[in-house]
Each structure stands twice: as C-alpha cells, then as structure tokens.
Amino acid sequence: MHKPLIAGNWKMNTTIDQGAQLVMKLRELLKGIQDIEIVIAPPFTSLQHLNFLLADTAIKLSAQNLFWEKNGAYTGEVSGEMLRAVGCEYVIIGHSERRRYFGETDETVNKKILAALREGLKPIVCVGETLEEREAGRPVEKVSAQVRSALNGLGPGMVKDLVVAYEPVWAIGTGRNATPSQAEEVHDSIRELLYEEYGMAAVNDMRIIYGGSVKPTNIDSLMAQPNIDGVLVGGASLNAEDFARIVKFEKSPER
Ligand code: PGA
C-alpha cells in the first residue's frame, strides 16, 4: 500500500504573514499525524520562512515550479538547488495553469522533471485532459500521451520518488470535481502505463494522486478508490480547517 500523499497547492496566494498564520493553524490541527504524508506548496517568497515554522513538524514543503538550468542568466527563474536550500522536498511540475498561461509544454515539463530529480527533489507531475478532450471521449489517450512524454528518458531507477497528479483541467477551480469513478478510470490507466514502462518495483513505490475541486465533502469517496493514492488540493488548502479535514479523510477498510 502507498502512504497517502495530501498536498496543498497555494498557487499565487498568501504573503509571508498570511502564510505563517495558515501554517500555525495547520501545526495545531495536524499534530501527531504519522500515517499520511502532508505537503504544502506556498509561493517562493514564503518558503524560507515557513521552512523554519515547520521545522519540528511532519509537514513537508513543495515549490510550485522550478527552472531546469542549474544557475546563470535566466532572469526571474529559480533552480532546484535553490529550492533544496530553502527546505523543499517536492516540486510541482507542469500544472495546467503553467501550461496554459506560461507556455509550458510536454517538452519543458520533461526537462524540469529531469532537473528536479538531479537536484534530489521529488516531482509532482501534473497531467489532465481539457473538457473538449473529455467530451470527445479521449481522456485516457490524452493523459497517457502526457505521461509518456513527461517521463521520456527516465530509467526505472529514477521514478520511484515521482508522483503523478491527475488533474482534469475542467475540474480545477470550477467546483466540479471528477467523480470517483471517472478519476479511478484514468488513475488505473496511468498505473497500467507505469507498469508497462517500469515494472512492478517502480509502480509499487510511485503514487498517483487526484486534483481538481477536492473538498472536505468529496475527499472520502475519492480516497476510497483503489488507485487514488492521495490528492492535490488548490482552493480548499487555503482554509486550515478544510485542509485538515481533507488530510483526516475517512479511511476505507482496505486502506
Ligand atoms: P482546486 O485546484 O482544488 O482549486 O480545483 C487544484 C489544483 O489546481 O491543483
């Protein structure tokens, strides 16, 4: 069984002070939880400070993006080494908002994954179909193609720390989540693909998480699906009580 991963993507929200307030509440609400891996992804500007505030907790830090070069003349970019230095263990790569608004492609996503792994960061790689692609009956086809190109050039020894986040674009920030069975169908196909590419050992370690309008009201049924190993939470992660309820999802008997 995979240890469930519950990650909060704060996106472009919170100043340092607002982030610190949220973290102080989370520290209280999530005290003592051992069986869930809890990750938050605040903006770059808060990482260093929140790293100090989280020092004696089990809550881990993620960045929301990185650049693939080690250093140099790349104005405005941040490298994996810099993220490690402020305490990040994870980094979100290829979020659909980055693909849509900042021109990220399957190719740049692949370069970022390789750079993250090189720097010892665990990538949370986002994939997902648009509404048109779902309505055309092609979610699995689209997501499989994205996963294949994201993982291009990665050998079996490299993927065990990699997390795939299935985030249907039509479900992000819309209040319209994929039903548990819609999500399960795509997760199952991703698992199958990973199995074909990397075999049993890699697949046993790799987690496939769901994102898109995850809330306290739908978390239990999502996490009851056998191939959903966790969630990536946007909006609801900005509310400490909601995020804590998501982390404390009701475990089904198999889990
Ligand atoms: P949402 O965002 O939970 O607000 O839909 C999810 C995400 O973008 O990771």
What percentage of the chain's residues is helix, strand, coil (to nearest 5)? Answer: 45, 15, 40
Q: What is the rounded end-to-end Cα distance, in angstroms, of the chain?
A: 7
Helices (DSSP H) in the chain: which residue ranges?
16-29, 44-53, 80-85, 96-101, 106-118, 131-135, 139-150, 180-205, 219-223, 240-247
Mean pLDDT on 28-49: 97
pLDDT of residue 106: 96
202 in Cβ contact with 159 (< 8 Å):
yes
pLDDT of residue 175: 85
81 is catalytic: no
33 CB burial (10 A radius; 0-12, 13-18, 19+): middle
Say which of 37, 97, 104, 167 is annotated catalytic: 167
Mean pLDDT, rounded, of the chain:
95
With cut-offs at 50, 70 and 90, classify the pLDDT of residue 254.
Answer: low
Which residue has a Cα nearest atom 7 of ligand 1? 234
Say which of 95, 97, 129, 187 is annotated catalytic: 95
pLDDT of residue 1: 67
- pLDDT, one tens digit per residue, over 123-163 is 999 999 999 999 999 899 999 999 999 999 998 889 999 99
**Pocket, ligand 1, Cβ cutoff 6 A:** 9, 167, 172-173, 211-214, 232-236
Which residue has a Cα nearest atom 9 of ligand 1? 234
CATH code: domain 5-247 is: 3.20.20.70
172 Cα nearest atom in ligand 1: 5
Mean pLDDT on 197-206: 84
Mean pLDDT on 116-123: 97
Residue from 221, 219, 134, 125 nearest 170 by CA: 134
Share of residues in the chain with pLDDT > 70 (%): 99
Helix 16-29 × helix 240-247 angle, to 10°: 40
Query: What are the φ and ψ backbone dihedral angles of 220, each rounded to 5 degrees?
Result: -65, -40
- pLDDT, one tens digit per residue, over 74-98 is 999 999 999 999 999 999 999 999 9
143 CB burial (10 A radius; 0-12, 13-18, 19+): buried
2 is catalytic: no
* Longest alpha-carbon distance in the chain: 53
